């Protein structure tokens, strides 16, 4: 009974509990977020981007592996058609063949496209179909995923410039009273970045005149010009207001029609209107709403460095600069902290603005030393590479653009997105390296994803940056996967550790013979602020100190000082550099410091003297075409004599080696270089005649013919410089394989020298006489070929003696031994019983030349190649194929196993006259002047002439060795009034030139060579010019080390188009 | 606390007053003659089962050991460090009907019995106070104001069945006032547990689980004979369930300061506390 009662009691309690439990509520309604599904999560280039360099690697990143086979399958489709295929790029000509340029990386999740196959200045569409990645939920087959436009670096002929983008947005969104909305809000801190369709004539970009940022009131009346720091170069304009703009106020950027492109075509006058949004909250607060530090992470030295990029699968913050010219170079990001501010995300929920104020820096380890082809070392080093943000870095944080609006971010499948826009001045620690590398990277849009890692907001942005290196001779496309984390607690180094210094100038201090129609380049150790740039004074000291107006613009760490008029010749100028110049440091700007080892030896005045063009030793002499690419600067004959050969210069001997058919690398400009300063107003492009024989309405023209008889014009832009001009065809107008013709008129209209030099027409038949202007037209047939070089440039002999190109050393012209050949009379014979130089101190031929060269990819070291023919007599010991004219063997030593071939194109070299005194038959004195001499670098019989860059033991510098076959001509040499003839016509000589390549603080690269072999050239004289009836001779010796050629590149300011001068 | 003592004192005084109004000793056993009473006697025996029905005033006292955030989502980890948080939980006192049911054990002098409390399961409103309630838990994420407001006091509700079984010894069995004391066990059984905080429930109710756990009970009381079979009782129990763990998972909140995120997963919050309760019952009843 007792047990029974206990049982009952327990049962009662249990039943109550059960009953009550049953009465309870159901399970909580737990929120289960929707699964995002796999997707395309990232794309670069960004949709609508208008300035994509061709060195770009396009990336399309998915959250799951793509179908590699489907993606790699070629697409089909013509122009204007929807392409068929899984992953396609289409352009104006239809589908782009990507077969050799597409790869799948990053564990199969990223499609990578090498965009070097695309054309400049062209809009493309990218199509990504569901079959590319069947798991992806956000692909559509109906329309392109995105479109972009490639960069147009060269001028476009026959087209007025126009605005492509404003702050990477449509210009229509900034038109006054527009209904078009901007993609991102224009903020009170935003710079204005205007991207044009082609490079502009920077002389027409004048702040306050042609470029005006004006505040206007509600009625549209001007309130006042807004002080702003302006950076204008190439096809970029950036204006950074010096103070935050006032939110809600109206600002107008007015661009006048006085702005021209390099073809002198006007920009349509344009007004862009900006109404900034507040970044502070409340708007009248002085304090930023959110303060952050953006720190590159992990950087060199941080644990876990380098981390793997989500986008590429390659190391993050380790940048691979790979180019055939320089091989593979690695640069590691150093820890950097950028102070940044965010707008209120609740005010800007769709695109939260971010700003990192200008004047802050990112640093990388350097390239020490720079190696050609990655193997041949140079004495060039960069030291730490630093990028200074010269305008505010603006960014916007958004949800993933490939997902529906408002889609919940997911680090793996729908990461947040960030758009970062910046203008960056690159500099290096080493002054020599800085001189060749410093440059501005303008209007960079880096797109990235934002995830949360290690409890921090982590940014990973990708962008291919195209660096100009070797003073603009070539470019490197570097993929930057930059990782950074955001943290308000990371301290920022606000100390300005070094004041700016002037590290180099061109011209150098106390230079003489400076061209009177050139810009002045001042290279500093770091970028400068927009302070005191109007305080430069250029004084014409020889003219009573008259001030010459100048414009100063910033270009990397270089200031480009542009005199607004051609300088007087033979005048001393002083450029006074203001001490108030400051660097761009955000927190503590410092003023210019002087030291004994700076470019002015501690001073603040650059002194130079312009060239004296007066001719005292001769009359007027017409200009010659020294360098022509493609082609040779003379009218040709025997053009149809031998297949595969283009002919020979008129006036030469019929036995002259014929030039090989000319080729034109489509990556290069068509260049022409003259022996004298030219009247740039005569440098005009004409239109080829139908028969292809001449140019109408211009001195130079290009044509195309399918059948070789009827010629159609190829439009080109012409960019003029003092002694040269460069032509740029329109993008895609000269496809590879096509037959083309370059014509340079000998008669009007043609190129003329400056008025100071007589305003003479060019001489197209210099072998007949150097003194006769005009002549038949230079007609060069050529074939367009795909780019094969790694570095291409026309290099000039510098310094020059014969600055006026007369073929004589005039009184004011100074001896420049580095470009001379010092002769000696080694022997005489026949009727000539004695011969010597009239003035023993004037035994030199001074040389003026322009040599189009191209560096090619590295090769295994072998100086026995036919172009040089050396023999290896011991390991790394190479000797000439035969003894020199004195019977001596000449040799060089090498180091390493690699050489860089350099293609030396045919060219003309002008030499100054020699005056000899001879004695005939022991009694008759004879004074003779060679007059101007012409040295023709001639082709080899069996192919192109190549030199080689090698290393030698114990020397960090690279050395250049080349065998130059030349013809020496003295077209105007007359002996005894023509009674006595001579054989200085197409007199063949061979020089083995050897010497170092060095890099200078003014940005120039010097190739300084001298002859290894003694050259003895017998000059025969005959009676009545009867060939073979030699009556006597004199042996002219160019002894070892007496024949020097030093060629120098023109610092192009980082491959900028040389600007036409006012 | 003052209120608790005041109530107890008042109840005791009432009982003493009841008892003092009847000077003579109570009858040894006066079986009630109510419908059904006989059946009960038949089931449990005579003078065995008794009850006191009345009001129970429960005064929870939650001794918070820790409130720990863990397993934070990546996003939450940007805003808040995992680990202990400042604050404590509490619950308001509540008054509800309840009955004490006892069974007199056939031991000794008849003063031993086992008792339990029967009543509607109490709804325990779990509240928070201190920093965790008054200040936003995630004020900033990487320096970015999240816009997440303070949680406030209301956190969750749960229904609890804490079956209490005590062994009770009564004294002075011949007197009208019979004090007693007891010790026993309880078992915390919760159900219908759900988060009630509007911030935490904007997207859905987080999953909240509370450990079911044994505890102990100390009891003291005073029976006062009223009339016939009727007795009045003041019963005070101290019920303690130590180290109870409550875990909240799958919590999603809105962070207005991070508008790109529609919602933000938080992670797990684990709460550890001693759930103590002072249960004061004033009731009346009789023994069958």
Nearest CB neighbour to A29, from listed B161, B192, B205 = B205
**A416–chain B Cβ distance below 8 A for any pair:** yes
pLDDT digit string, tens, across residues A767-814:
999 999 999 999 999 999 998 877 788 899 999 999 999 999 999 899
pLDDT digit string, tens, across residues A936-993:
998 877 788 999 999 999 999 999 999 999 999 999 988 777 778 888 999 999 999 9
Mean pLDDT of A705-709: 81
What confidence score (pLDDT) does residue B4 get?
47
Nearest to A128 by CA among A114, A117, A143: A143
What confidence score (pLDDT) does residue A725 get?
93
| Backbone angle region of A1054, left / alpha / beta, with phi > 0 → left and psi within -120 to 50 → alpha | left
- What is the C-alpha separation between A929 and A945, in angstroms, rounded? 32
pLDDT digit string, tens, across residues A226-261:
999 999 999 999 999 999 999 999 999 999 999 999
CA dihedral B107, B110, B111, B114 (to 10 degrees): 60
Contacts A453 to B, Cβ<8 Å: 74
**B198–chain A Cβ distance below 8 A for any pair:** no
Contacts A345 to B, Cβ<8 Å: 144, 257-260
> At which residue do the structure tokens 């560096």 appear?
A855
Q: How many CB atoms neighbour CB A719 within 10 A? A: 23
- What is the C-alpha separation between B46 and B79, in angstroms, rounded? 66
Contacts A16 to B, Cβ<8 Å: 118
Contacts B192 to A, Cβ<8 Å: 24-25
**Between A535 and A80, whose confidence is greater?**
A535
Average pLDDT of chain A, as a whole number = 91
Q: Measured between alpha carbons, how far is residue A1034 from residues A100, A828, A832, A1014, A1018 in Å?
A: 61, 4, 7, 16, 6
Token duo for residue B118: 């029967």
Inter-residue contact B66 to B272 (CB < 8 Å): yes
Instruction: Name the DSSP letter for residue A74.
Output: P
- What is the C-alpha separation between A258 and B189, in angstroms, rounded? 86
* Radius of gyration of chain B, Cα coordinates, nearest whole angstrom: 24
Q: Quick check: A523 pLDDT over 90? A: yes
Asked if the Cβ–Cβ distance from A346 to B259 is below 8 Å, we say yes
What number of residues does chain A have?
1062
Phi, psi of A431 (to 5 degrees): -60, -40
Q: How confident is the model at residue B27 (pLDDT cuts 50, 70, 90)?
A: low
Asked if the Cβ–Cβ distance from B260 to A1 is below 8 Å, we say no
In order, the DSSP letters of A971-1007 are TT--BGGGTEEE--SSEEEEEEEEEEEEE-TTS-EEE
**A20–chain B Cβ distance below 8 A for any pair:** yes
- What is the C-alpha separation between A326 and A949, in angstroms, rounded? 13
Inter-residue contact B254 to B242 (CB < 8 Å): no
- What is the C-alpha separation between B131 and B88, in angstroms, rounded? 8
Dihedral sign (CA A629, A633, A634, A638): negative
End-to-end CA distance of chain A: 123
On the 0-12 / 13-18 / 19+ scale of CB atoms within 10 A, A836 is middle
Which chain B residue is nearest to residue A18, measuring alpha carbons? B161
Asked if the Cβ–Cβ distance from A17 to B161 is below 8 Å, we say yes
Q: Quick check: B87 pLDDT over 90? A: no
Q: Quick check: B255 pLDDT over 50? A: yes
Nearest CB neighbour to B260, from listed A16, A290, A398 = A398
In order, the DSSP letters of A544-607 are TTEEEPEEEEEETTEEEEEESSPPPTT-EEEEEPPTT-BB--SSS--B-B--TTSTTTT-SEEE
How many beta-carbon contacts under 8 Å exist across A and B?
112
**B267–chain A Cβ distance below 8 A for any pair:** no
**A351–chain B Cβ distance below 8 A for any pair:** no
Helix-helix angle B37-44:A2-22, to 10 degrees: 120
Mean pLDDT of B234-259: 93
* Radius of gyration of chain A, Cα coordinates, nearest whole angstrom: 34
- Sequence-distant (6+) residues with CB within 8 A of A1039 are A822, A824, A886, A1014
Inter-residue contact A251 to A217 (CB < 8 Å): no
Kindly report which listed range (A317-331, A382-396, A794-808, A879-893) carries the lowest average pLDDT score.
A317-331
Token duo for residue A1013: 């072999």
**pTM of structure:** 0.88
Asked if the Cβ–Cβ distance from B103 to A352 is below 8 Å, we say no
- Sequence-distant (6+) residues with CB within 8 A of A766 are A624, A633, A634, A649, A651, A908, A934, A971
**B189–chain A Cβ distance below 8 A for any pair:** yes
Inter-residue contact B243 to B213 (CB < 8 Å): yes
Mean pLDDT of A573-584: 97
Q: How many CB atoms neighbour CB B272 within 10 A? A: 18
Using DSSP, state whether A63 is helix, strand or coil: coil
Nearest to A154 by CA among A115, A121, A176: A121
pLDDT digit string, tens, across residues A829-868:
998 999 999 999 999 999 999 988 888 889 999 999 999 9
What confidence score (pLDDT) does residue A1054 get?
38
What ipTM score was computed for the predicted complex, to two decimals?
A: 0.80
Dihedral sign (CA B40, B41, B43, B47): positive
> At which residue do the structure tokens 């087959």 appear?
A141
- What is the C-alpha separation between A911 and A783, in angstroms, rounded? 31
Q: How confident is the model at residue A479 (pLDDT cuts 50, 70, 90)?
A: confident
Q: β-strand A290-296 against A474-487: which pairing, if any?
A: antiparallel
Asked if the Cβ–Cβ distance from A5 to B256 is below 8 Å, we say no
Q: How far is A353 from chain B (nearest CA, A)?
A: 13
Nearest to B130 by CA among B265, B241, B239, B271: B271
**Between A120 and A324, whose confidence is greater?**
A120
What number of residues does chain B have?
288
Asked if the Cβ–Cβ distance from B263 to A33 is below 8 Å, we say yes
pLDDT digit string, tens, across residues B48-81:
999 999 999 999 999 999 999 888 888 888 888 8
**A295–chain B Cβ distance below 8 A for any pair:** no
Asked if the Cβ–Cβ distance from A21 to B191 is below 8 Å, we say yes
pLDDT digit string, tens, across residues A120-138:
999 999 999 999 999 999 9
- What is the C-alpha separation between A974 and A957, in angstroms, rounded? 45
Token duo for residue A961: 């060795």
Contacts A8 to B, Cβ<8 Å: 43-44
Asked if the Cβ–Cβ distance from B144 to A290 is below 8 Å, we say yes
Mean pLDDT of A643-669: 93
Using DSSP, state whether A210 is helix, strand or coil: coil
| Percent of the residues in chain A that have a pLDDT greater than 70, as a whole number | 96
- What is the C-alpha separation between A919 and A1034, in angstroms, rounded? 11
Contacts A399 to B, Cβ<8 Å: 260
List helix spans (H) across A387-499.
431-437
Mean pLDDT of A561-567: 91
Asked if the Cβ–Cβ distance from A409 to B44 is below 8 Å, we say no
Nearest CB neighbour to A456, from listed B44, B118, B142 = B142
Q: How far is B214 from chain A (nearest CA, A)?
A: 15
Q: How many CB atoms neighbour CB A25 within 10 A? A: 12
């Amino acid at each position: 009974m007792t047990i029974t009662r206990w049982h009952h009691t327990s049962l009662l309690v249990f039943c109550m509990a059960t009953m009550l439990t049953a009465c309870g509520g159901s399970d909580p309604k737990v929120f289960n977020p929707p699964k995002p599904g796999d997707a395309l999560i990232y794309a670069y280039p960004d949709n609508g981007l208008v300035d994509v360099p061709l060195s770009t690697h396009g990336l399309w990143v998915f959250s799951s592996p793509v179908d590699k086979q489907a993606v790699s399958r070629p697409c089909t489709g013509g122009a204007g058609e929807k392409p068929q295929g899984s992953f396609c790029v289409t352009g104006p000509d239809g589908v782009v063949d990507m077969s050799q340029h597409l790869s799948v990386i990053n564990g199969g999740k990223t499609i990578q496209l090498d965009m070097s196959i695309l054309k400049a200045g062209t809009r493309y569409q990218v199509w990504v179909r569901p079959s590319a990645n069947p798991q992806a939920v956000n692909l559509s087959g109906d329309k392109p995923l995105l479109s972009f436009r490639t960069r147009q670096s060269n001028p476009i002929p026959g087209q007025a410039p126009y605005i492509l983008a404003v702050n990477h947005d449509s210009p229509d969104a900034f038109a006054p009273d527009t209904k078009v909305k901007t993609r991102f809000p224009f903020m009170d801190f935003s710079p204005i970045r205007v991207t044009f369709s082609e490079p502009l004539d920077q002389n027409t970009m004048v702040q306050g005149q042609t470029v005006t940022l004006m505040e206007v009131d509600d009625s549209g009346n001007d309130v006042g010009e807004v002080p702003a720091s302006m950076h204008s170069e190439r096809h970029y304009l950036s204006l950074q207001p010096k103070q935050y703009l006032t939110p809600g106020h109206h600002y107008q950027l007015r661009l006048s029609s006085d702005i021209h492109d390099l073809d002198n075509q006007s920009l349509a006058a344009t007004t862009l209107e900006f109404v900034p949004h507040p970044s502070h909250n409340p708007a009248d607060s002085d304090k930023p709403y959110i303060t952050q530090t953006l720190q590159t992470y992990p950087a060199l030295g941080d644990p876990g460095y380098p981390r793997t990029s989500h986008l590429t699968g390659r190391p993050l913050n380790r940048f691979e600069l790979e180019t055939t010219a320089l091989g593979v170079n690695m640069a590691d990001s150093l820890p950097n902290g950028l102070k940044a501010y965010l707008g209120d995300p609740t005010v800007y929920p769709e695109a939260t603005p971010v700003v990192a104020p200008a004047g802050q820096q990112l640093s990388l380890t350097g390239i020490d030393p720079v190696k050609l082809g990655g193997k041949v070392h140079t004495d060039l080093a960069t030291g730490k590479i630093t990028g200074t943000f010269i305008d505010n870095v603006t960014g916007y944080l958004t949800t993933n653009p490939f997902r529906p609006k408002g889609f919940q971010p997911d680090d793996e499948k729908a990461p947040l997105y960030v758009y970062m826009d910046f203008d960056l001045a690159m500099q290096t620690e080493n002054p020599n390296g800085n001189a060749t590398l410093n440059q501005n990277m303008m209007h960079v849009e880096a797109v990235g994803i934002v995830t949360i890692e290690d409890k921090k907001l982590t940014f990973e942005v990708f962008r291919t940056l195209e660096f100009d290196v070797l003073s603009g001779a070539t470019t490197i496309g570097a993929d930057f996967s930059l990782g950074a984390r955001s943290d308000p607690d990371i301290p920022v180094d606000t100390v300005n550790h070094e004041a700016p210094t002037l590290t180099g100038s061109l011209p150098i201090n106390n230079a003489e013979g400076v061209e009177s129609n050139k810009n002045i380049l001042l290279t500093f150790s770091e970028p400068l602020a927009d302070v005191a740039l109007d305080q430069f004074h250029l004084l014409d000291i020889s003219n009573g100190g008259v001030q010459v107006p100048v414009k100063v613009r910033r270009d990397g760490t270089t200031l480009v000082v542009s005199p607004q008029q051609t300088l007087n010749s033979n005048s001393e100028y002083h450029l006074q550099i203001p001490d108030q110049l400051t660097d761009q440091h955000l927190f503590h700007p410092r003023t210019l410091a002087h030291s004994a080892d700076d470019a002015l030896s501690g001073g603040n005045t650059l002194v130079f003297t312009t060239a004296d063009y007066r001719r005292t030793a001769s009359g007027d002499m017409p200009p010659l075409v020294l360098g022509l690419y493609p082609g040779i600067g003379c009218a040709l004959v025997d053009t149809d004599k031998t297949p595969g050969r283009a002919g020979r210069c008129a006036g030469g001997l019929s036995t002259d080696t014929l030039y090989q058919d000319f080729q034109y690398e489509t990556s290069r400009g068509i260049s022409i270089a003259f022996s004298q300063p030219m009247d740039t107003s005569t440098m005009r492009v004409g239109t080829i005649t139908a028969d292809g024989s001449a140019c109408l309405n211009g001195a130079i023209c290009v044509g195309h013919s399918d059948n070789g008889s009827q010629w159609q014009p190829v439009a080109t832009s012409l960019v003029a410089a003092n002694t040269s001009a460069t032509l740029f065809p329109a993008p895609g107008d000269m496809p590879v394989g096509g037959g083309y013709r370059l014509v340079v008129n000998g008669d009007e209209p043609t190129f003329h020298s400056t008025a100071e030099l007589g305003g003479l027409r060019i001489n197209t038949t210099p072998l007949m006489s150097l003194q006769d202007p005009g002549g038949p037209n230079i007609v060069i047939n050529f074939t367009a070929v795909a780019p094969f070089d790694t570095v291409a440039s026309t290099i000039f002999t510098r310094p020059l003696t014969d600055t006026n190109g007369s073929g004589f050393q005039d009184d004011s012209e100074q001896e420049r031994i580095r470009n001379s050949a010092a002769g000696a009379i080694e022997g005489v014979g026949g009727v000539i019983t004695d011969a010597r130089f009239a003035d023993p101190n004037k035994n030199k031929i001074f040389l003026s030349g322009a040599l189009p060269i191209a560096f090619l990819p590295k090769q295994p070291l072998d100086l026995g190649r036919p172009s040089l023919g050396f023999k290896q007599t011991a390991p790394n010991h190479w000797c000439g194929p035969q003894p020199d004219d004195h019977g001596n063997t000449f040799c060089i030593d090498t180091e390493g196993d690699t050489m860089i071939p350099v293609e030396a194109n045919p060219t003309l070299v002008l030499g100054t006259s020699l005056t000899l005194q001879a004695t005939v038959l022991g009694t008759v004195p004879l004074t003779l002047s060679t007059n101007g001499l012409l040295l023709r670098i001639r082709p080899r019989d069996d192919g192109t002439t190549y030199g080689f860059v090698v290393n030698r033991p114990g020397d960090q510098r690279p050395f250049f060795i080349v065998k130059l076959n030349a013809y020496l001509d003295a077209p105007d040499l007359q002996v005894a009034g023509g009674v006595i003839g001579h054989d200085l016509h197409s007199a063949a000589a061979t020089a083995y030139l050897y010497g170092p390549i060095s890099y200078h603080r003014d940005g120039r690269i010097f190739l300084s060579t001298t002859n290894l072999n003694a050259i003895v050239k017998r000059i025969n004289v005959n009676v009545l010019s009867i060939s073979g009836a030699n009556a006597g001779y004199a042996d002219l010796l160019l002894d070892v080390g007496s024949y020097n050629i030093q060629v120098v590149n023109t610092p192009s300011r980082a491959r900028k188009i040389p600007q036409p001068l006012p | 606390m003052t209120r608790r003592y005041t109530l107890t004192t008042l109840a005791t005084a009432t009982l003493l007053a009841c008892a003092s109004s009847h000077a003579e000793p109570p009858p040894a056993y006066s079986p009630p003659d109510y419908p059904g009473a006989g059946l009960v006697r038949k089931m449990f025996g005579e003078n065995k089962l008794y009850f006191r029905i009345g009001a129970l005033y429960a005064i929870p006292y939650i001794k918070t050991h820790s409130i720990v955030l863990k397993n934070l989502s990546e996003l939450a980890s940007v805003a808040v460090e995992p680990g202990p948080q400042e604050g404590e939980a509490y619950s308001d006192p509540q008054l509800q009907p309840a009955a004490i049911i006892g069974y007199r054990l056939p031991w000794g002098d008849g003063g031993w019995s086992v008792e339990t409390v029967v009543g509607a399961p109490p709804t325990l409103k779990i509240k928070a106070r201190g920093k965790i309630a008054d200040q936003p838990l995630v004020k900033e994420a990487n320096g970015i104001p999240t816009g997440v407001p303070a949680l406030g006091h209301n956190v969750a509700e749960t229904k609890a069945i804490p079956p209490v079984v005590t062994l009770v010894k009564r004294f002075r069995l011949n007197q009208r006032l019979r004090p007693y004391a007891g010790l026993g066990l309880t078992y915390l059984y919760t159900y219908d547990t759900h988060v009630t905080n509007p911030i935490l429930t904007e997207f859905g109710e987080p999953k909240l689980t509370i450990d079911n756990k044994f505890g102990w009970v100390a009891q003291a009381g005073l029976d006062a004979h009223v009339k016939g079979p009727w007795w009045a009782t003041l019963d005070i129990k101290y019920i303690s369930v130590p180290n109870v763990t409550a875990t909240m998972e799958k919590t999603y909140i809105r962070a207005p300061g991070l508008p790109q995120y529609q919602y933000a997963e938080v992670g797990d919050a684990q709460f550890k506390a001693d759930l103590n309760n002072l249960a004061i019952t004033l009731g009346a009843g009789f023994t069958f």
